[in-house]
């Protein structure tokens, strides 16, 4: 991602294609977001703390960006006081260029974290719109994450669902199972699945180029 942003630093606008992207590590998602968002809130997590299942305790963590730091504000729930930790951030590389993110029903997990951060930070401090999200459907709907314990005997590991995440505005993508809400694109585009990516028949990509050229103005979906 960093290499691409540096390579195309003279481009007038960029397209980030997250279609078919099932996600990955949340920390990697935070690095990607840091390259394209200058400052603001990125995501919030509700982590289950190990303990008595009859009296669950959660750690709420809000991730923010300043011009030079990644900030984690954590609060134990119930009854905790906020604690703030500062880290060096990934360098901001978008340099104010417009960006269109493409999504579909297979955009999931960490890719949805990126999508939500972009949507909820689509306007800069001057009210200028920098980001748009286009897609053929809602995203997959995996607003949960897992912790992996790989220190078990016999070359085994244990993966446990241990946290939920929400976009900066509080939207939840769903539980990846019975309640898959997904994130709603700014514009839902009908397209034929049997097309070659980045060809003329690729309607989402073609529309993204039109948006970047200013030929296809879009308004945000008010109730997404």
CATH number, domain containing residue 191: 3.90.226.10
Residues sharing a CB contact under 8 Å with residue 159, sequence separation 6 or more, in sequence order? 146, 147, 148, 149
Question: How many whole angstroms separate alpha carbon 13 and alpha carbon 146?
Answer: 34
Tell whether 187 is covered by a domain.
Answer: yes
Confirm if 173 and 111 have CB atoms less than 8 A apart: no
Tell whether 136 is covered by a domain.
Answer: yes
Range of the domain at 137: 2-213
Distances in Å between the Cα of 16 and the Cα atoms of 13, 120, 142, 181 are 10, 16, 20, 22
Tell whether 84 is covered by a domain.
Answer: yes
What is residue 112's DSSP assignment?
H
Packing angle of the helix pair 26-36, 110-120 (nearest 10 deg): 30
Tell whether 55 is covered by a domain.
Answer: yes
Give which of 194, 181, 189, 20 is closest to 106, Cα–Cα: 20
Residues sharing a CB contact under 8 Å with residue 130, sequence separation 6 or more, in sequence order? 94, 96, 97, 98, 99, 121, 122, 123, 124
SS3 content of the chain, % helix, strand, coil (to 5): 15, 30, 50
- pLDDT for res 200: 76
Tell whether 205 is covered by a domain.
Answer: yes
Q: Which two tokens stand for residue 182?
A: 């997904």
The H-assigned helical ranges of the chain are 2-7, 26-36, 110-120, 203-213
Question: How many whole angstroms separate alpha carbon 45 and alpha carbon 144?
Answer: 9
What is residue 80's DSSP assignment?
P
Distances in Å between the Cα of 71 and the Cα atoms of 26, 44, 68 are 15, 12, 10
Confirm if 76 and 57 have CB atoms less than 8 A apart: yes
**Domain count of the chain?**
1
Tell whether 199 is covered by a domain.
Answer: yes
Tell whether 221 is covered by a domain.
Answer: no
- In order along its 224 residues, the chain shows pLDDT tens digits of 999 999 999 999 999 999 999 999 999 999 999 999 999 999 999 999 888 888 888 999 999 999 999 999 999 988 889 999 999 999 999 999 999 999 999 999 999 999 999 999 998 778 888 999 999 899 999 999 998 888 889 989 998 899 999 999 999 999 999 999 999 999 998 766 666 777 878 889 999 999 999 855 554 443 45
- State the pTM of this model: 0.90
Tell whether 142 is covered by a domain.
Answer: yes
- pLDDT for res 222: 36
């Amino acid at each position: 991602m960093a290499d691409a942003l540096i390579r195309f630093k003279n481009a007038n606008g960029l397209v980030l294609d997250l279609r078919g992207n099932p996600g990955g590590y949340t920390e990697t998602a935070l690095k990607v977001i840091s390259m394209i968002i200058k400052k603001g809130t990125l995501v919030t997590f509700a982590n289950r703390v190990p303990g008595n299942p009859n009296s669950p305790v959660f750690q709420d963590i809000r991730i923010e960006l300043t011009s030079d730091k990644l900030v984690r504000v954590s609060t134990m729930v119930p009854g905790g006081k906020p604690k703030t930790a500062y880290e060096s951030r990934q360098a901001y590389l978008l340099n104010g260029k417009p960006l269109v993110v493409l999504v579909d029903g297979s955009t999931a997990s960490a890719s949805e974290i990126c999508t939500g951060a972009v949507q909820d930070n689509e306007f800069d401090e001057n009210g200028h719109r920098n980001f748009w999200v286009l897609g053929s459907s809602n995203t997959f709907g995996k607003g949960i994450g897992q912790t992996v314990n790989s220190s078990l005997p016999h070359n085994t590991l244990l993966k446990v669902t241990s946290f939920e995440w929400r976009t900066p505005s509080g939207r939840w993508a769903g539980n990846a199972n019975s309640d898959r809400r997904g994130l709603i694109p700014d514009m839902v585009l009908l397209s034929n699945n049997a097309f070659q990516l980045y060809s003329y028949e690729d309607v989402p990509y073609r529309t993204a180029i039109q948006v970047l050229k200013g030929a296809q103005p879009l308004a945000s979906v008010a109730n997404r």
